[in-house]
Amino acid sequence: MSFAKQNILGLSVTELSLALSEKWISSQELTEAYLSKIEESDGDLGAYLTVTAEIALSAAKRADILLSKGNARPLCGVPTAYKDNLCVAGVPTTCASKMLEGFIPPYSATAVKALSEQGAVMLGKLNMDEFAMGSSCCTSAFRLTRNPLDRERVPGGSSGGCAAAVVSEEAPYAIGTDTGGSVRQPAAFCGAVGLKPTYGRISRYGLIAFASSLDQIGVISRTVSDSALILNALTDVSARDTHDATLAKLPPIDFSKDINSGIRGLRLGIAPQFFGKDITREISLAVDNAVKTYNSLGATIVNVNLPSLKYALPAYYVISSAEASSNLSRYDGVRYGHRSSAPSDSIEETYICSRSEGFGDEVKRRILLGTYVLSKEHYSDYYQKALKVCGLIRTEFDSVFHQCDALIAPVTPTPAFKIERDFLSPVDQYNGDIYTVPASLAGLPAISVPCGTTSDGLPIGMQIICRPYDEKTLLRVARSFEAEVSAR
């Protein structure tokens, strides 16, 4: 049997995996279909920074050989794409920054290796906010990515290219990164599923650091079951990784198993801090309705309190900017990346010119902020205080998770905003991260699942947050909602 081309692109990873292993389609066919979709639609959408057609086609051929032998892994032959802050050996990796234009890493990230070991087919590298700093994809130095559902709006960020590609059928799934919401927020804006696993679950080796204590590799997919399947592949290799010292040494788990076992008896927590004054009525209502659905599916709803969350946003910006200022120091134009061609008399001048030309405004803003909060004079007032807040938030989450098994919250206070919103001050833009940064600060696993649409037809995301390393419960809670909604 064979599928019509348009049907192929609409299939989930779980369905593709089956179709490939049953040889209903070949990986080459599938890959070609995706490549022509990208060629046809990405000029306007702007999800990709690099399309690696040749690499994809040769990987597809290899995958087809494996598939024909009948012992292929679940993701074998399934195309994917990576956010452009994940190193792929021999392929330009830019972080959407002029600073890294033309940089070709000599090695691949552990996550990338994990998937290519499974036989995944890389279609290319996806657009993002410069160095993952932003929530609109608008700070990319190279191109604008549009929201597939409303071309006048942003896809969210920083993994905006990932979400746009997955929703517009330019990739069946994509690997992004989440520091303060960068997987969950674009997933919510575009109507995809965005999974941020626990900090320490997936090796960060080869992920170009923004804020090392918060960065985590995540998955953007079309279904919750897909994200479980992909998480399996990522954790399988991370369990053997020896490059990331912050990685938890845990035996691999099958996240797909029991994902459909429902949520009867689970306690779901609602905290008022996730429903502040900035949230739109539509989003608030959509999340409320989701909670009602859960109740009807047999979950107990409990009210919980996380008073310290009001400090989460400033703490997040202090810590992430501090670490960013440190992590981005290495881009000095000496060994790789952008080097100013302006005449200079000293190495200092070369540094200054290269960095001034290479970084965009948002990156510079955060480097300045981070340098300030780490300076001797201000360290204790800002950085140390932010760490204390972080500790408080962790403690509160700990105690809340004695009262419930998962928290239900919105992902964002508003749906996807218009591309022209430069009139918003940076602080107003940062406010959009208010509901995603708490899980980041506490290192908790969280997922964004579509839970409705606005009257304008824009997607609304619901966020589920669980205990550290309890992705199993997280995915089960997410899946039971998804299953219920799709059954309606």
Partner 1 sequence: MKLIKDYELVVGLEVHVELSTESKIFCSCPTAFGAEPNTQVYPVCMGLPGAMPFLNKKVVEYAVKAGLSTNCEINSFSRCDRKHYFYPDLPKAYQISQFDIPICRGGWIDIGNKRIGITRIHIEEDAGKLIHHPLNGTMIDCNRCGVPLLEIVSEPDISSPEEAEAYVKKLRSVLVYAGVSDCKMNEGALRCDVNLSVKKIGQSRLGVRTEIKNLNSFAFIRKAIEAEYIRQVNTLERGGQIIRETLRFDTDTGKVYTMRAKEDAADYRFFPEPDLPPIILTVDQIDGIRPQLPELPDSRKKRYSEQFGISDYDADVLVSNRTVADWFEAVAEMSKYPKIAANLTISQLFRLLPADIEEIPLSPAAMAEIADMSGDGEINSSVTKKVLDEAYMRGTSPREYVRENDLAQINDPSVIQATVYRVLSENPALIADYRSGKTNVKKMLMGLCMKLTHGKADPVKMNELLEKLLNSEE
Q: Which residues bind partner 1 (CB under 8 A)?
A: 85-87, 93, 95, 100, 103, 105-107, 109, 204-209, 211-213, 242-246, 322-323, 325-326, 329-330, 332, 334-336, 347-348, 351, 371, 374-376, 379, 383
- β-strand pairing of 446-453 with 459-466: antiparallel
Q: Which of 9, 14, 468, 8 is CA-nearest to residue 259?
A: 14
Per the CB < 8 A criterion, the answer to whether 449 and 220 are in contact is no
Structure tokens, 212: 């090392």
- Catalytic residue list contains 425: no
Render 268-293 in DSSP notation, one character per residue: EEE-GGGS-TTS-HHHHHHHHHHHHH
Please, what is the minimum distance in Å from the beta carbon of residue 334 to partner 1?
5
Is the Cβ of residue 69 or residue 376 nearer to partner 1 in the bound state?
376
Is the Cβ of residue 204 or residue 472 nearer to partner 1 in the bound state?
204
| Annotated catalytic residue, options 140, 182, 221, 321 | 182
> Rounded CA gap, 453 and 218, in Å?
24
> Rounded CA gap, 429 and 474, in Å?
28
Is the Cβ of residue 75 or residue 209 nearer to partner 1 in the bound state?
209
Please, what is the minimum distance in Å from the beta carbon of residue 216 to partner 1?
13
- Catalytic residue list contains 83: yes
Is the Cβ of residue 4 or residue 245 nearer to partner 1 in the bound state?
245
Structure tokens, 283: 């989003």
Please, what is the minimum distance in Å from the beta carbon of residue 381 to partner 1?
14
Please, what is the minimum distance in Å from the beta carbon of residue 158 to partner 1?
16
| Cα dist from 64 to 5, 34, 118, 120, 163, whole Å | 18, 16, 12, 11, 27
Look-up: residue for tokens 């650091």?
Answer: 209
Q: Which of 117, 100, 344, 345 is CA-nearest to residue 235?
A: 117
- β-strand pairing of 174-178 with 121-126: unpaired
Please, what is the minimum distance in Å from the beta carbon of residue 209 to partner 1?
7
Please, what is the minimum distance in Å from the beta carbon of residue 122 to partner 1?
16
Q: Which of 129, 166, 133 is CA-nearest to residue 149?
A: 166
Is the Cβ of residue 85 or residue 412 nearer to partner 1 in the bound state?
85
> Rounded CA gap, 184 and 96, in Å?
19
Is the Cβ of residue 109 or residue 442 nearer to partner 1 in the bound state?
109
Per the CB < 8 A criterion, the answer to whether 481 and 290 are in contact is yes
3-class state of residue 379 by DSSP: coil
Is the Cβ of residue 249 or residue 281 nearer to partner 1 in the bound state?
249
Is the Cβ of residue 78 or residue 211 nearer to partner 1 in the bound state?
211
- Catalytic residue list contains 158: yes
| Annotated catalytic residue, options 17, 135, 158, 354 | 158
**Residues near 316 by Cβ (< 8 Å), separated by ≥ 6?**
180, 214, 386, 433, 437, 440, 441
Dihedral over Cα of 485, 486, 487, 488: its sign: positive
| Cα dist from 426 to 274, 412, 418, 422, 431, whole Å | 21, 16, 15, 9, 9
Please, what is the minimum distance in Å from the beta carbon of residue 285 to partner 1?
39
Is the Cβ of residue 131 or residue 417 nearer to partner 1 in the bound state?
131
**Residues near 442 by Cβ (< 8 Å), separated by ≥ 6?**
390, 393, 394, 397
Please, what is the minimum distance in Å from the beta carbon of residue 322 to partner 1?
6
> Rounded CA gap, 53 and 61, in Å?
12
| Beta-ladder partners of 300 | 267
| Annotated catalytic residue, options 27, 37, 83, 238 | 83
Per the CB < 8 A criterion, the answer to whether 201 and 246 are in contact is no
Please, what is the minimum distance in Å from the beta carbon of residue 244 to partner 1?
6
Residues annotated as part of the active site: 83, 158, 182
